[in-house]
Amino acid sequence: MSISPHKYNDSKWNIIPSTDITLGKDPKFPNSLSNWVITYGPIPHVLPSSYLLSESLRKHQKVHNYFVDDDDMYWTRHLIENLPEFTWETHVGLFHNLAEFTNMIYKYSDGTKKRLYMRTIPFLPLGDEEVKESGVFVDEVAIMIPLLKEQQDDPFENPERKFERRKKRFRNVINLGQHFEIFQRLNSKEPGNIGTIPLSKLEELLTEYDINKSLLTLVDDPAHIIGLKSMAWTGVPFKVLSARGDQMINKNEATLYIFQSLVCGVVWEDVSFQEKLKVVNAIHSYAILGEGTYTPFDKVVSTIVRVKQSLSEIYQNRRSKFDVMYHKQSPNELISHEEYKELAVAFDLPLYKLANMKLVALPVWFLRVLLVLGWLHSFVQGSSRMKMYITIFSRVITTGLMPAVPAFDRQFVKDITKEAVGYMKNPLASESGQTKSSTLCAQRDMQKSSLESIQEQEGSTESSTKNSKERCASNHKKPSDKLGS
């Protein structure tokens, strides 16, 4: 009788449901990616690895990004209190990354095996589509698989193992060759970028390597949760941390961030195709990245700085000082239709109207959508060669903006985007200096849409108009006056 070589096919990983946790944040750093704590019944607390270090050390000592719990904190205190020669200067390397820390726990606790956590990125529904699987970062998968093999006492063959044991080093020696091989197999080809894979692919890999999945606990990434909430309020694309602790940004958010930084707030009339092409190339290089790809945030910032330096005259003389994306306003704050019209006239944007809804004012979250579409329209006009970029830019940019759109309105935003794209490709003729208007016929969910109640808030029209005028006055009169650096 043949025996299956795989012992752990039927094993199941553990899951910490995001619906059952309490995510606490340090009030001093409400949007920090590494100042939080998860409270969850069976595992009292889950924390970021930075909390292993003393508070003073965290400010200038970087460790990789991994998750620890109360047991890990206990063994860390035990080491500090019972190792006479311990100093942070000489022993901080024990906490540098997950492998080193796991080794430290095993050595100084007489064989305790650290509970291993893997971050998941939950799928964000973008409309009426089916809910898809959560994803995991491939750099973390490449780190975790060799560690899990160690935890189940079935390590990968490692030519350095005997040498390390002779030196009486820690039990677990990560096979860097195997780690690199897994990472190369899974990751995208763009240098510095990190890909994600769905949970079904992770399950296939763990089965392929015959790993006991019950040794692994999945938890939604708190940095991602914090980022989603922050973006829902501000409309500013958010970042997460890689396994190495570097700031990364999803390709959709990166594209939106570059678009908002380079295109929005600029008067594009009479700007040459060659000048626009520098902006196009910057946006396009991120828009074409594979889905689920994360890219270094500092690389995105460098891209923006490089383009602004090469087109300094445009950004000095044609860019508004006005906060055209309303990042400092509440997403549900109402902006008068008159202010929207003023922006459209000042920057030569189309004035979008809804065929079946007369809004007395626009909530900030919806105005951001209309302004992003309007600036894309304004940017691509004047050259037929620009129109080839409309479809991909509109899709990636509005996908990046979806976390700032209420869930029940996302399908509506997708629908009006399709209509706006059609208008961009075949704009209606209009006289110079006149407001170009486009009527969008997409239907919102009348029972669930957050726009529905605005029609009934006629009493708020006067106050929203007043607030808009006051905001413009506090920023030196009006949006059209705010050009130049």
Tens-digit pLDDT profile for the chain (485 aa)?
344 577 899 999 999 999 899 999 888 777 788 899 999 988 889 999 999 998 888 878 889 999 999 999 999 999 999 999 999 889 999 999 999 999 999 998 888 999 999 999 999 988 777 778 999 999 999 999 999 999 998 888 764 544 344 333 434 445 566 777 888 888 867 789 999 999 999 999 999 999 999 999 999 999 999 999 999 999 999 999 999 999 999 999 999 999 999 999 999 999 999 999 999 999 999 999 999 999 999 999 999 999 999 999 999 988 888 889 999 999 999 999 999 999 999 999 999 988 877 778 999 999 999 999 999 999 998 888 899 999 999 999 999 999 999 999 999 999 999 999 998 988 764 434 455 667 776 665 555 566 665 654 444 444 444 454 444 444 334 444 545 43
**Beta-strand runs (E) in 304-419:** 334-336, 350-354, 361-363
DSSP H or E segment with residue 198: strand 196-198
DSSP-assigned letters across all residues of 399-457 = HHHGGGS-GGGHHHHHHHHHHHHHHHHSPPP--TTSPEEEEE-PPP-TTT-TTGGGGG-
User: Which residues in 229-241 are b (16+ Cβ under 10 Å) and which e?
Assistant: bbbbbbbbbbbbb
**Domain assignment present for 236:** no
Residues 185, 264 within the same domain:
no
Query: Using CA atoms, how far apart are residues 117 and 285, in angstroms rounded to an integer?
Result: 33
**Which domain, by its residues, includes 398?**
246-481
238, part of any domain: no
Which of 200, 231, 262 finishes a domain? 231
Could you tell me the two tokens for 72? Answer: 């890990």
Residue 246 CA: distances (Å) to CA of 62, 142, 212, 240, 305: 10, 17, 29, 8, 20
Cα–Cα dist 363/450, whole Å = 9
Same-domain pairing of 253 and 212: no
Whether 5 is covered by a domain: the verdict is no
Query: Which among 219, 213, 223 has a CA at the least distance from the CA of 46?
Result: 219
Cα distance between residue 260 and residue 282, in whole Å: 12
Residue of 206, 270, 219 lying closest to 67 (CA atoms): 219
- Domain membership flag for residue 222: yes
What is the bridge-based pairing of β-strands 36-39 and 45-48? Answer: antiparallel
* 26 plus 91 within the same structural domain: yes
Statement to judge: residues 227 and 251 lie in one domain: no
Does one domain contain both 171 and 264?
Answer: no
Residue at which a domain ends, from 199, 231, 263: 231
* Nearest of 264, 263, 255, 265 to residue 300 by alpha carbon: 255
Pair (90, 154) in one structural domain = yes
Residue 81 lies in a domain: yes
Distance (Å, whole) CA 261 – CA 400: 14
Residues 213 and 338 in one domain: no
Q: Looking at the structure, tell me whether residues 350 and 281 fall in a common domain.
A: yes
Domains: count for the chain: 2
Centre a 10 Å sphere on the Cβ of residue 205 and count the other Cβ atoms it contains.
Answer: 19
Indicate whether 125 and 56 sit together in one domain.
yes
Given 231, 255, 278, the domain boundary residue is 231
| 207 and 256 assigned to the same domain | no
Q: Are residues 312 and 449 in the same domain?
A: yes
Q: Is 7 within the bounds of a domain? A: no
Residue 351 inside a domain? The answer is yes
Model-level pTM?
0.88
Instruction: For residues 254 and 186, state if they share a domain.
Output: no
Is residue 215, in this structure, part of any structural domain at all? Answer: yes
